[in-house]
Homo-oligomer: A and B are copies of this chain.
Amino acid sequence: MDLTERVLAGDRLALARLLTLLENDQPEGHDGLAALYSRTGHARIVGVTGASGTGKSTLVNRLALALRAAERAQTVGIVAVDPSSPYTGGAILGDRIRMRDLAGDPGVFIRSMASRGALGGLARTTFSVVEALDAAGFDMVLIETVGAGQTEVDIARMAHTTIVVDAPGLGDDVQAIKAGILEIADILVVNKADLPGADHAIQLLRASLQMAHPTRHEWAHHGLSEGPAAPPAESTWLPPVLPTVATQGEGVPALVEALEQHRAYLLKTGELALRQRERARAELESLLRDQLAARWRVAQPDGRFDAALERVVRREVAPRRAAADLAETGKG
């Protein structure tokens, strides 16, 4: 059996090998994924993001345990992405802590991703790894990211549902109101809800949500029957703010329930297909740009780029003009 057949047959070592090939931007990996591509599109993809110290790894852990213990147990792939970490492939401490709870369960597969391991770019490689887990047949793929940078937002775009995790006492109020990260949230979680300040954090997030989606919250506050312009209930989604204590498992069943509700909303409104199309568009555009750059390099005489760079370094020409000139000569 070749690698893809072994992946489809449930061979976890073959899957790990495929992911390593993808992380290292190897043609064999891309060919393998291309062969598996018709098998993708069945997994539910959930992003979990939040700052350091919110306890989001523990929450992902608990969520995986809950999904495994459900009446119809789901298989779970976990992709833990840390753009600031140079480590990859299961070497980080977080993974070892996680293994303790989830080890030995063949229905769970954990993969750590880091900048250094992702030669094709971290967001790009994460796309491919999630697609490989999807093709391998996992019911649910959880993508865990740290922080609120562009990489996290890019990665969130590939999830069907994005959970943003906050916790009390992580910074002052001005810094807590991160509208950019709130905008990508389908579900908000205030973890460590047993700590002082949790109620305040929940109120703050609700207020921030109201700033970010004023209309949606007006509907919620006034009731659907009052506003003539309000759309039917199923066509809007109000991100719920859920308290959890992940270390104790508290609030996790409500989170699982919220995931189900969001899934139902995505299917009913057709937004799932829309999100998948946008995700495919972003990926195709980015890959096309790489292809065009690679073809340009092959077509150019040696040293043309470096000569232009030299003129920029000597400040004889602005970079934008130099780039336009290079692209022009690349045409003929």
- CB neighbours (8 Å) of A53 from chain B are 170-172, 175
Chain B proximity mask over A203-228: 1 for CB below 8 Å, otherwise 0: 00000000000000000000000000
A234 to chain B, nearest CB (A): 24
Chain B proximity mask over A84-125: 1 for CB below 8 Å, otherwise 0: 111100000110000000000000000000111000001000
**Complex partner residue of A292 from B148, B276, B330, CB under 8 angstroms:** B330
B289 x A293 contact (CB < 8 A):
yes
Indicate whether A174 reaches chain B with its CB closer than 8 angstroms: yes
Sorting the interface of chain A by its residue count into under 10, 10 to 19, 20 to 34 or 35 or more gives 35 or more
Indicate whether A290 reaches chain B with its CB closer than 8 angstroms: yes
A30 x B320 contact (CB < 8 A):
yes
Indicate whether A264 reaches chain B with its CB closer than 8 angstroms: no
Indicate whether A318 reaches chain B with its CB closer than 8 angstroms: yes
Binding site for B on A (CB under 8 A): 30, 33-34, 37-38, 40-41, 51-53, 83-87, 93-94, 114-116, 122, 146-153, 170-172, 174-176, 178-181, 183, 276-277, 280-281, 283-285, 287-293, 295-296, 305, 308-309, 312-313, 315-324, 326-327, 330-331
